[in-house]
Structure 1
Amino acid sequence: MHIVFVSREYHDSKRGGGIATYLYDLITLILEEGHQVTLITASDDTREESVEKKGNFTKINLSGGDFVIPQVESGFVTIKKFRIFFRFFSYRLKILKEVLKLKNVDILEVSEFGAESAFFRKFNFPVVYRLHTSSLLDRSTGGVFKFKPGLIPNFFTGYFEKRSLAHAEFITSCSMSLKEWTSKYFEIPESKIQVLYNPINLNNWHFDRTEESLNTHKILYVGTVSYEKGVGDLIEACRVLLKKGFNLTLTIAGKLGNYGLRLQKELEGETWCEFLGHIGKKELANVYESHSLAVFPSHWEAMGLVALEAMYSGALVIGSREGGMSEIIEEGKSGFLVKPKDPLALADRIEEVLKLPIETKLQISKNAVDQVVNSFSDKKIVPEFLAYYQEVTKIYRN
């Protein structure tokens, strides 16, 4: 098959997040199966355009993106942030023109996030809309954002996301939670949405966890450092435990942003907390295996690939009850779940896990690894994607 992906981010982008990781892993694994893949994405430097080809993989980096990365394009950054409005239509027309140039396409997948399909029409191949998380989803409430002037870009983009999905024939979701949210707030029948979990490419990770590592009081958070991810709640929970006499450390790995930089400044000089910033997979693997506990107290999470990574490393994982992490963590068996936005409850749960007997910790660690391998690994998930693509292609042609 010739499979085309349209995404505003990819793994080598400075804007890369969960979608970028999902796409990189999925594309890598699909290529290994011998299929042809074309990716249409945006250059970090919106003044540049290029095409990269390697074997069966073609990556088209478009210019004219509706964003700005200050480290890449300095000067008049405040004005350039309004590109979401004055480049929205021109960039999406550019995507459409690029799609129309392609030949022998069997299927195309595009994320609902960012509404990059705003000008898509009926092609001679099917289009699958992949749910990752809408611009309108308020992680703090699990609902839709209430209007505020600062959220005008979200409502502007969200309008086109909703409009595109209303006309979509084929939709997949990275979790049941996101499927239910989209069905409820975008009024799309649940029967129209197929849940296909994001796969984790096990070849990317090599761990050598020791029994001793599970008996330490080393706590880890991985991911974007933001309020909605519950990082502030985790810091407060750790402070509660420090006051109770726990000799613990907290390591925070991931993109900081303004919120993260503020937290980093507030904690300056406190040796129990360390900010690593964004780090590569090899270094991250060492970080995972040296920490006993990985905590992801997001207010709402579509799925949480970092939770899968931590589970596969053998760490004891605490995740949020709200959203997709509750679908990948079996309470008390392969990890633990906690109510978000409650630092005291989080502190109690961390204390409970730290005090578990080593035999129990070892069993939960093993269960976590087994669950990732059996339910979320590339060998389990990628065939499901390819089978779905083939089924959609068949339905479309008939």
Structure 2
Amino acid sequence: MKILFILPEYYPHSGGGISTYYLELIPALKPYCTSIKVLVGSGYTQSIESFTNNGIEVSYLKPDLYKQYLQKFSKFSIFPELQKNIAAAWAMWEQVKDEDFDLIECTDFGLGFIPWLIHHNKPVAIKMHGSTGQISNYDYKPEEQLASDFVRQTELLFFAKCNLLQTYSKANQAFWQKQIQDKEVVQLYPVYSKVTKTIPYSERTTFGLVTGRIQQWKGPQILCDAAEILKDKMPEVHWYGRDMAYKKHGASMNEYLNKQYPDNWNISIKTNKPVPNQEIHNLQAKAKFGLIPSTWDMFNFTCLEFLSAGTLTICSDGAGASELIENGVNGFKYTAQDAQALSEVLNKVASLNQKEYEQIANNGKETVCNSLSPKQLIPAHLEYYFNTIKKFIPTISNDFLNEVYLPSNRKHKLDDLLDLQQLSLLLKYNLKRIKNKILNKFN
């Protein structure tokens, strides 16, 4: 079996969830495949790099090819992110279209699946990690909603055409099964084998740890609300992650939280800039407890990283990884967006003695070893791949979809869309934007 993976991120340039997932899955599949190739690219990732890593060929989207295709989607210039990702998808298709593969696997994030389902002459699997459309629901930005609506329609159209839809949380499986009722959505937990030596209880830090972006749906507000409930009983928590925009351009989540929660944010909850992955793993292994306060997360691999390090883990049930936790047995979980419930769990963890702590943490580590090992999961992955290839029947292209999604040499100018707007609206907008530019310059 020869598999091509079309990914928006992969080793060695990203520590995101998609990259983490495939850094485990692909090497585990390698012994059972004739060849595996990984092509990495998106509207934000291009490179001339190409190398082999443990027998796996890894190439990146070529920058010059990407630039050529960017011009072929000028009609989407009003939505720059959409234009970039569709152009990247087609450029990646162009880069490897003449190579021989039995199956192509794409992710639901980044629209890389589009050309493979337009030219549907090979079976296509889509792995559902948390789609662009889903994320826009939880990270609401008014200025991006029209583009997000288009992306959601695109996802529904193309997901229904693919040959294998697979995800790794039961909650996400149920979500997509509701949206696409005529097609089976398969759920298989992710392969995870990075189990590390447990740091002794006496050598651990005194603080809890969150490792993730400072972003609305990652749950910093819920954690702050819990801190306000606990007051001086709130345990110290360190948050490592990149600061993200909050609702409107120019404002950040960190700035908002500093103003909204001055007694807790950067006081009992201390923020830190992102650090290299190895340093993060060392921090996770030494933390008193790991915390995932997400109001929603398709899965969240930091939960597995904490569990596999033997660090007691608290996880919101809004994160798919919480499905692996039996409350009070191998970790703790609480109802997402319930600050009172989180405060009670934090209080409970603080009251555990060493024996209780070690028992729960060790059970969490065993859960990862027993439930997520390649030996346990790879046979099921292979069975779905082989059955998908066996049942595949090529389909003819759809003229309407071609009109929307095929690259074109026709030139479209943003001016043409602006000409359709009332002049009074454009004048008001220009005055407002000039005013904001001046204010931002002097603030």
- Compute the TM-score of the two structures, normalised by the length of structure 1: 0.82
Q: Which residue of 2 aligns with 1:244?
A: 232
Partners of 2:352 and 2:228 in 1: CA distance: 20
The structure with more helix, counted as a fraction of residues: 2
Unaligned runs of 5+ in 2: 67-75, 246-251, 395-443
Contact 2:199-2:286 within 8 A present in 1 as well: yes
Q: Which residue of 1 aligns with 2:122?
A: 125
Residue identity matched to 1:201: S
Contact 1:198-1:305 within 8 A present in 2 as well: no
Answering whether residue 182 of structure 2 is matched by residue 193 of structure 1, we say no
Answering whether residue 164 of structure 2 is matched by residue 177 of structure 1, we say no
Residue identity matched to 1:36: S
Answering whether residue 386 of structure 2 is matched by residue 390 of structure 1, we say yes
1:262 to 245, 255, 259: 255
SS at match of 2:218: coil
Partners of 1:170 and 1:140 in 2: CA distance: 24
Aligned-residue offset at 1:378? 3.3
Worse overlay, 23-32 or 46-55: 46-55
Contact 2:2-2:33 within 8 A present in 1 as well: no
Aligned-residue offset at 1:328? 1.3
Answering whether residue 291 of structure 2 is matched by residue 298 of structure 1, we say no
Change in 2 beyond 3 A, CA 1:199/1:65: farther
Q: Which residue of 1 aligns with 2:215?
A: 226
Partners of 1:153 and 1:257 in 2: CA distance: 19
Partners of 1:208 and 1:358 in 2: CA distance: 14
Residue identity matched to 2:145: L
Q: In angstroms, what is the RMSD of aligned CA positions? A: 3.4
Change in 2 beyond 3 A, CA 1:87/1:147: closer
Contact 1:297-1:338 within 8 A present in 2 as well: no
Aligned-residue offset at 1:128? 0.8
1:342 to 304, 321, 338: 338
Residue identity matched to 1:57: I
Partners of 1:391 and 1:353 in 2: CA distance: 46
Partners of 2:65 and 2:217 in 1: CA distance: 24
Larger radius of gyration: 2
Change in 2 beyond 3 A, CA 1:384/1:146: same
Partners of 1:39 and 1:255 in 2: CA distance: 27
Contact 1:213-1:289 within 8 A present in 2 as well: no
- Where in structure 2 are the equivalents of 1:96-107 lying within 5 Å? 96-103=93-100, 105-107=101-103
Aligned-residue offset at 1:210? 0.7
Aligned-residue offset at 1:48? 4.5
Aligned-residue offset at 1:381? 2.5
Aligned-residue offset at 1:387? 3.1
Partners of 2:349 and 2:99 in 1: CA distance: 53
Q: Which residue of 1 aligns with 2:197?
A: 207
Q: Which residue of 2 aligns with 1:115?
A: 111
Contact 2:2-2:102 within 8 A present in 1 as well: yes
Change in 2 beyond 3 A, CA 1:24/1:35: farther
Q: Which residue of 1 aligns with 2:13?
A: 13
Partners of 1:344 and 1:271 in 2: CA distance: 20
Q: Which residue of 1 aligns with 2:432?
A: none
Contact 1:65-1:87 within 8 A present in 2 as well: no
- Where in structure 2 are the equivalents of 1:313-324 lying within 5 Å? 313-324=309-320
Aligned-residue offset at 1:46? 5.7
Worse overlay, 360-369 or 267-276: 267-276
Q: Which residue of 1 aligns with 2:405?
A: none
Aligned-residue offset at 1:282? 2.5
User: Identity rate of aligned residues, in percent?
Assistant: 22
SS at match of 1:299: coil
Contact 1:46-1:65 within 8 A present in 2 as well: no
Q: Which residue of 2 aligns with 1:94?
A: 91
Higher relative contact order, chain-length normalized (CA < 8 Å, sep 6+):
2
1:307 to 303, 320, 324: 303
Partners of 1:148 and 1:276 in 2: CA distance: 28
Contact 2:24-2:192 within 8 A present in 1 as well: yes
Partners of 1:111 and 1:132 in 2: CA distance: 7
SS at match of 1:58: strand
Residue identity matched to 1:102: E
Partners of 2:111 and 2:42 in 1: CA distance: 17
Partners of 2:64 and 2:153 in 1: CA distance: 19
Unaligned runs of 5+ in 1: 68-78
- Where in structure 2 are the equivalents of 1:269-280 lying within 5 Å? 270=266, 272-280=268-276
1:253 to 224, 227, 240: 240
- Compute the TM-score of the two structures, normalised by the length of structure 2: 0.74
Change in 2 beyond 3 A, CA 1:134/1:270: closer
Pairs aligned (count): 376
